[in-house]
Chains A and B, each alone.
Chain A
């Protein structure tokens, strides 16, 4: 397992270019520092995992990336493969998806529950369809331009429905789907926006073993076939360690480690952050720090 992870990393590393460059990102809420001077790089065509204990600031990083928060300090640069560069910290939330093509999912699923599964995927292609419908003018008139665009949107939706195994539920209300299917639909919906960077906030939360296995396959498929970067927040170590090409570890808003899964697995700072603070209680702080440095 580790061996395969290593080979894919090595394979992708050859072609990989930096996709997202996070520099000195800080986010303060009043006196609380949720994210403190975090820098990392996410590569194109790689899965970058962000892990850390509860309250480490993972979701805050996501919210800064996707425009839900304006970072207090920092630079978030996204480079498209055609050379265009976007400074995400300066963009409004919805423009980040619209122009910079960053898509995200949410920790607590946010579908449009009373709309059908297919409609959820069509809404995701809103901006493209808006242009095709001449900002509703052609659409009202029923011109062919719009009908063709809608047909294309349906085909894209059909493709993703097949991918996540929801084709036969396409006309059902999204809110009636089982939990695991809702998770998959949310990923399919994000993919329908044609992102270059897909940000997933705990996609495996609440999934059973089989479903997380399917999720792993889906994420690898997205990375390898659609050739985009994936940013992944996850608590489930079996998911993170198996599919991530690169892992960033946060604790108390700071980055404490950064590297491939093998390196992270053996990093004493990470182990300490996860296994608790017993060492701090028994050892003097200087010694604990010493331990960290030695590792």
Chain B
């Protein structure tokens, strides 16, 4: 079961080096050296030289030291991987585990001390991935010895899913308490809002992609419809956030049905292309329909949310109490701070995201949710069972779009300004990546993927320009190890309990 993912490293010579025929030690060394040679050939032009701007001239610097270190790290890594596959997984696990912990301790004690390791965090990442791989394989060996039919990755996913029963509430408590913790400054709360927005979008899209299996690349269209509906309704009719929110969601759902009708007969790649087109159409319309959307200039001064009619402003107009004044009068003295609004927004999106989650979890156990999953599995069989595929698909589109619309309204009220630029294809791609990486149909997977994909780039800021590289590397690793998504493990929606009494 683990063999399938073994031969993914650079060296083509390794393609034959599976565990089956116990390769000799000499062979493993040769294999590692061959990998090193390939790495050297690549690193020579890429790492070996670099151009440096010196005022008016550009000079070429050599970095052979770093280059050889890098090559050595790669060769060692390859050797470690081969040893893992040759049956020394536990030993390698222990060694690399000790090394990576030692590195962490070194950094904790003295940030300069990490220099003992060549190339700093890059070699650390390698050590960590070796450790992960070793853990994966030794787990696989154990379950193989027991004769399990389930792959270790699935077992991890199943365990995490089961733990989610306890883990979920803890995560929820953390999410509730987060803005009140002492370390929570504006940056943390803003990041929390961002992550939660994508969690909500991910959960919304999960209905369409994960449950109903309709690959939608234009989800951002509904996000845009929700945002613009909220902005226009709130500004034109003077409604507040909570009044305009359902309307915006309803309009987005309508657009979902509108998109659903023409694409009912399409599936797979064709559906993806058409939905992608729909996403672009909505953006281009918003860009050009000046009378409605104010074109590329966007819509500004969108009403910000108020706390039961109390705005979050330092100096409210005559006759209006602002939140901090009310709070000071009734509870305890606080001054005005912009973070108050951020915290309030944070709780709004938390509430909206939780609503999405509860709704999805419940609907999955209803006939319509089961019909979505059945439709994903086999549409023809569904028709033979009397399930109306048209209605079933349209409901999925509408409900997914509605949640996208809610998230869009929130986005508009949070930003106070929207323009078509915010609703690019890349947004759809990120939301889809969250759903796919998390494991299609998995609710907790979406949370983890959002934290990794949205929070990750923020946390990796210390890596500066290597940030996107680390991000891309992570995605590649996930696709190699868990092509079906991190937590793609499906719990049945209903279990047959043994009947009480005599059989």
A residues in contact (CB < 8 Å) with B: 66-68, 93-98, 103-104, 106, 110-116, 118-119, 122-124, 126-127, 129-130, 133, 135-136, 139-140, 142, 146, 150, 154, 157-158, 161, 167, 170-171, 176, 189-190, 193
Q: Please provide the chain B residues from 315 to 372 with a CB less than 8 Å away from any CB of chain A in the complex.
A: 359, 362-363, 366-368, 370-371
A111-B492 in contact (CB<8A):
no
Of the residues A93, A119, A190, contact of B370 by C-beta under 8 Å: A119
Q: Chain A contact residues: over half helix, strand or loop, or mixed?
A: helix
A140-B359 in contact (CB<8A):
yes
- A sample of 26 cross-chain residue pairs with beta-carbon separation below 8 angstroms, ordered by A number, consists of A95-B386, A97-B386, A98-B386, A106-B381, A112-B377, A112-B381, A114-B377, A114-B490, A115-B370, A115-B374, A115-B377, A115-B490, A116-B495, A118-B495, A119-B373, A119-B494, A123-B367, A123-B387, A126-B371, A136-B363, A140-B359, A150-B494, A170-B496, A171-B496, A190-B385, A193-B386
Within 8 Å of chain A (Cβ to Cβ): is B378? yes
B386-A133 in contact (CB<8A):
no
Within 8 Å of chain A (Cβ to Cβ): is B9? no
- How far does the Cβ of B441 sit from chain A's closest Cβ, in whole Å? 10
Of the residues A126, A142, A154, contact of B385 by C-beta under 8 Å: A126
B494-A140 in contact (CB<8A):
no
Q: Would you list the 7 A-B pairs with minimal beta carbon distance, nearest first?
A: A97-B386, A98-B386, A170-B496, A112-B377, A116-B492, A129-B367, A110-B381
A124-B385 in contact (CB<8A):
yes
Task: Kindly list chain B residues whose C-beta atoms are within 8 Å of the C-beta of A126.
Answer: 367, 370-371, 374, 385-387
Say whether, besides A111-B378, A140-B362, A161 and B386 are in contact (CB < 8 Å). no
Of the residues A104, A139, A140, contact of B384 by C-beta under 8 Å: A104
A118-B377 in contact (CB<8A):
no
Task: Kindly list chain B residues whose C-beta atoms are within 8 Å of the C-beta of A140.
Answer: 359, 362-363, 366
B371-A123 in contact (CB<8A):
yes
A94-B388 in contact (CB<8A):
yes
Within 8 Å of chain A (Cβ to Cβ): is B246? no
Of the residues B380, B385, B496, contact of A97 by C-beta under 8 Å: B385
- How far does the Cβ of B410 sit from chain A's closest Cβ, in whole Å? 22
Task: Kindly list chain A residues whose C-beta atoms are within 8 Å of the C-beta of B362.
Answer: 139-140, 142
The complex places the Cα of A123 from the Cα of B382 at a distance, in Å, of 8
Within 8 Å of chain A (Cβ to Cβ): is B383? yes
A123-B374 in contact (CB<8A):
yes
B387-A161 in contact (CB<8A):
no
Task: State which size class the interface on B falls in.
Answer: 20 to 34
- How far does the Cβ of B279 sit from chain A's closest Cβ, in whole Å? 27
The complex places the Cα of A189 from the Cα of B495 at a distance, in Å, of 17
Task: Kindly list chain A residues whose C-beta atoms are within 8 Å of the C-beta of B490.
Answer: 114-115
Within 8 Å of chain A (Cβ to Cβ): is B499? yes
- How far does the Cβ of A46 sit from chain B's closest Cβ, in whole Å? 22
- How far does the Cβ of B115 sit from chain A's closest Cβ, in whole Å? 50
- How far does the Cβ of A253 sit from chain B's closest Cβ, in whole Å? 23
Chain B residue at minimum C-beta to C-beta distance from A171:
B495
B385-A193 in contact (CB<8A):
yes
Of the residues A115, A133, A190, contact of B367 by C-beta under 8 Å: A133
Chain B residue at minimum C-beta to C-beta distance from A105:
B384
Contact with A along B224-259 (1 / 0, CB 8 A): 000000000000000000000000000000000000
Within 8 Å of chain A (Cβ to Cβ): is B493? yes
Chain B residue at minimum C-beta to C-beta distance from A104:
B384
Within 8 Å of chain A (Cβ to Cβ): is B455? no
Chain A residue at minimum C-beta to C-beta distance from B378:
A110
Task: Kindly list chain A residues whose C-beta atoms are within 8 Å of the C-beta of B380.
Answer: 68, 106, 110
Say whether, besides A112-B381, A133-B366, A139-B367, A154 and B387 are in contact (CB < 8 Å). no
Chain A residue at minimum C-beta to C-beta distance from B359:
A140
Within 8 Å of chain A (Cβ to Cβ): is B389? yes
The complex places the Cα of A55 from the Cα of B389 at a distance, in Å, of 30
B residues in contact (CB < 8 Å) with A: 149, 359, 362-363, 366-368, 370-371, 373-374, 377-378, 380-389, 490, 492-496, 499
Task: Kindly list chain A residues whose C-beta atoms are within 8 Å of the C-beta of B373.
Answer: 112, 114-115, 119
Task: Kindly list chain B residues whose C-beta atoms are within 8 Å of the C-beta of A127.
Answer: 386-387
Task: Kindly list chain B residues whose C-beta atoms are within 8 Å of the C-beta of A119.
Answer: 370, 373, 492-494
- How far does the Cβ of B440 sit from chain A's closest Cβ, in whole Å? 10
Task: Kindly list chain A residues whose C-beta atoms are within 8 Å of the C-beta of B495.
Answer: 116, 118, 170-171
The complex places the Cα of A157 from the Cα of B370 at a distance, in Å, of 15
Of the residues B377, B385, B496, contact of A158 by C-beta under 8 Å: B496
A136-B388 in contact (CB<8A):
no
B381-A136 in contact (CB<8A):
no
Chain B residue at minimum C-beta to C-beta distance from A101:
B386
The complex places the Cα of A190 from the Cα of B386 at a distance, in Å, of 10
Chain B residue at minimum C-beta to C-beta distance from A109:
B381
The complex places the Cα of A111 from the Cα of B149 at a distance, in Å, of 21
Task: Kindly list chain B residues whose C-beta atoms are within 8 Å of the C-beta of A170.
Answer: 495-496
B494-A130 in contact (CB<8A):
no
Say whether, besides A126-B387, A158-B499, A113 and B367 are in contact (CB < 8 Å). no
The complex places the Cα of A104 from the Cα of B380 at a distance, in Å, of 11
- How far does the Cβ of B370 sit from chain A's closest Cβ, in whole Å? 5
Task: Kindly list chain A residues whose C-beta atoms are within 8 Å of the C-beta of B493.
Answer: 119
Task: Kindly list chain B residues whose C-beta atoms are within 8 Å of the C-beta of A193.
Answer: 385-386
Say whether, besides A111-B378, A123-B374, A158-B496, A136 and B384 are in contact (CB < 8 Å). no
Of the residues B388, B494, B496, contact of A161 by C-beta under 8 Å: B496
Chain A residue at minimum C-beta to C-beta distance from B492:
A116
Question: Besides A66-B384, A94-B385, 14 other CB < 8 A contacts?
Answer: A67-B383, A106-B381, A114-B490, A118-B492, A119-B493, A123-B367, A123-B371, A123-B385, A154-B494, A154-B496, A157-B496, A161-B496, A170-B496, A171-B492
Most buried by A among B363, B373, B492: B492
Chain A residue at minimum C-beta to C-beta distance from B365:
A139
- How far does the Cβ of B472 sit from chain A's closest Cβ, in whole Å? 30
- How far does the Cβ of A152 sit from chain B's closest Cβ, in whole Å? 13
- How far does the Cβ of A20 sit from chain B's closest Cβ, in whole Å? 17
A136-B386 in contact (CB<8A):
no
Task: Kindly list chain B residues whose C-beta atoms are within 8 Å of the C-beta of A114.
Answer: 373, 377, 490
B492-A115 in contact (CB<8A):
yes
A97-B363 in contact (CB<8A):
no
Chain B residue at minimum C-beta to C-beta distance from A131:
B367
- How far does the Cβ of B366 sit from chain A's closest Cβ, in whole Å? 4
Most buried by A among B362, B373, B377: B377
The complex places the Cα of A119 from the Cα of B371 at a distance, in Å, of 10
A112-B378 in contact (CB<8A):
yes
Task: Kindly list chain A residues whose C-beta atoms are within 8 Å of the C-beta of B371.
Answer: 123, 126
The complex places the Cα of A91 from the Cα of B385 at a distance, in Å, of 14
A94-B374 in contact (CB<8A):
no
Task: Kindly list chain B residues whose C-beta atoms are within 8 Å of the C-beta of A115.
Answer: 370, 373-374, 377, 490, 492
A103-B384 in contact (CB<8A):
yes
- How far does the Cβ of A89 sit from chain B's closest Cβ, in whole Å? 16
The complex places the Cα of A95 from the Cα of B385 at a distance, in Å, of 9
The complex places the Cα of A111 from the Cα of B380 at a distance, in Å, of 10
Task: Kindly list chain B residues whose C-beta atoms are within 8 Å of the C-beta of A94.
Answer: 382-389
The complex places the Cα of A106 from the Cα of B496 at a distance, in Å, of 26
The complex places the Cα of A68 from the Cα of B149 at a distance, in Å, of 37
A112-B374 in contact (CB<8A):
yes
The complex places the Cα of A106 from the Cα of B379 at a distance, in Å, of 13
